[in-house]
Amino acid sequence: MKLVNMKEHNINYDCPPPCTINADLRYPASARTPDLCRVLTGEMGIERQYFERNLTEDVKRASYIEHMRAGARAEPHSHAGGEEILVLSGTFSDESGTYSEGFYLRCPPGSSHTHLARTDCTLLVKQGQFARFDRKSVRLDTSCANAAWEDGPHGIKTLRLHKSLYEHVALALWPAGLKLDPTRFVGGLELYVLSGRFVDEFGDHKAGDWLRIPAGHEHRPRAIEPTKLYIKTGHLPASTKGLRPEPDGRA
């Protein structure tokens, strides 16, 4: 099975990055944030490190780490395919409020906002990946004392961030020594390591690593140390067209 590593793209761009990066969702892909160059966005004080990108489709798709310096402002922008944000560090605000480390946001298709960095901040951002019928807006503080973490099998703890017909998003805590049986994800699996370390058939993954496993493939992880992850399942297409039926059966 081919595994695409973004280290191949670690060059100093003097121009915009390629229109497609890890764009073929049929293949596994991985990236290590320390290996990725920072790309200027054209807005002062804002840089990005891309995990995946596809600007050739009607709804532009991208997943990346965004770095904002204190005082940086992202001009008003709309979300044709929605935008998902997890605040990794620092504080930023938009028209709906102020969000510090640990906040999870979902901005549905058709919404728009303006970012302002209150401090230096780092964001995990996913654009253009909402189901067309998903119009739910989310603002969830995962760091608060009463966050609804749930105990699961094998000592796993999970905090649900979002659930819809085709997409489950959660934070997970894996205890050291955890070894899971092979699991096949019908709608694929995507992981971002927030802290800790685990290994699987694709390699050794540490904080800042991103991994995408396509629909239908198995995953066999083993936690080397206590590990915290952002996990998304069910969102990757089963067909090469990248289309998924609406609830009423329309494509």
Tell me the pLDDT band of 15, cut-offs 50, 70 and 90. Answer: low
In contact, 125 and 63? CB cutoff 8 Å: yes
Flag the least confident range among 13-22, 55-64, 204-213, 219-228. Answer: 13-22
Reply yes or no on whether the pLDDT at 249 is more than 60. Answer: no
- pLDDT range class, residue 232, cuts 50, 70, 90: very high
Residue 112 has pLDDT above 80, yes or no: yes
Between 244 and 13, whose confidence is greater? 13
Q: What are phi and psi of 242, to 5 degrees?
A: 75, 20
The DSSP call for residue 153 is G
Q: What mean pLDDT comes out for the span 245-251?
A: 32
* Least confident piece of the model among 15-19, 139-143, 153-157: 15-19
Length of the chain, in residues: 251
- Give the integer Cα–Cα distance in Å for 17 and 48: 10
Which tokens belong to 139? 């603002």
Instruction: Classify the phi-psi angles of 140: left when phi > 0, otherwise alpha if psi is within -120 to 50, otherwise beta.
Output: beta
DSSP 180: P
Average predicted confidence (pLDDT) for the chain: 88
Read off the tokens for 191.
């992981």
Give residue limits of the domains in the chain: 4-141, 150-233
Instruction: Return the pLDDT at 9.
Output: 42
Q: pLDDT at residue 241 above 60?
A: no
- The answer to whether the 4-141 and 150-233 domains have the same CATH topology is yes
pLDDT at 4 over 50: no
Topology, domain 150-233:
Jelly Rolls (2.60.120)
> Confidence class of residue 18 from pLDDT cuts 50, 70 and 90?
confident
Query: Which residue from 157, 186, 161, 197 is spatially nearest to 32, judged by alpha carbons?
Result: 197
Q: What's the mean pLDDT in 207-227? A: 96
**Can you tell me the mean pLDDT for 120-128?**
97
pLDDT tens-digit map of 97-108 = 999 999 999 999
* Predicted local distance difference test score (pLDDT) of residue 204: 98
What's the CATH superfamily of 4-141?
A: Jelly Rolls (2.60.120.10)
Query: At residue 2, does pLDDT exceed 60?
Result: no
Percent residues over pLDDT 90 in the chain: 72
Residue 87, pLDDT above cutoff 60? yes
Measured CA to CA, the distance from residue 187 to residue 178 in angstroms comes to 23
Residue 245's pLDDT is: 33
